[in-house]
Structure 1
Amino acid sequence: MKLNVCHLYPDLLNLYGDRGNVIAFKQRCSWRGININLLEVNPGEQINFKEMDFL
């Protein structure tokens, strides 16, 4: 199984430890044999939301 994960504005929205949550999420998926494709999107960048499984 593979999940496409979008981390929106990682540099701006890391006020409450979101980066740590993403790291923990990736590790938990790894333990379960789930591959993660992490896409970090910054302001002004285009994204195809139809390709993402998790925001």
Structure 2
Amino acid sequence: MNTPQSMMLGWGSLVVAAGVSFYYAKKTINERRAVQESMGQRPSEKLDCASFLLFLHCL
């Protein structure tokens, strides 16, 4: 049977693992975006909601 201590340990380790994986994924994504922007393959400005909806309508 699960004791409160084992439940805390399980959930705590899950939260820590998720946080670490999020940190490394975010770091990798930001590095890739910086490389794409320096190569001119990524637009530097962000789309607003209206232009995104117009883009979806054209598909």
**Shorter-chain TM-score range:** 0.3 to 0.5
Higher relative contact order, structure no. (Cα contacts within 8 Å, ≥ 6 residues apart) = 1
- Structure having the larger proportion of residues in helix: 2
* TM norm structure 2: 0.34
* TM norm structure 1: 0.37
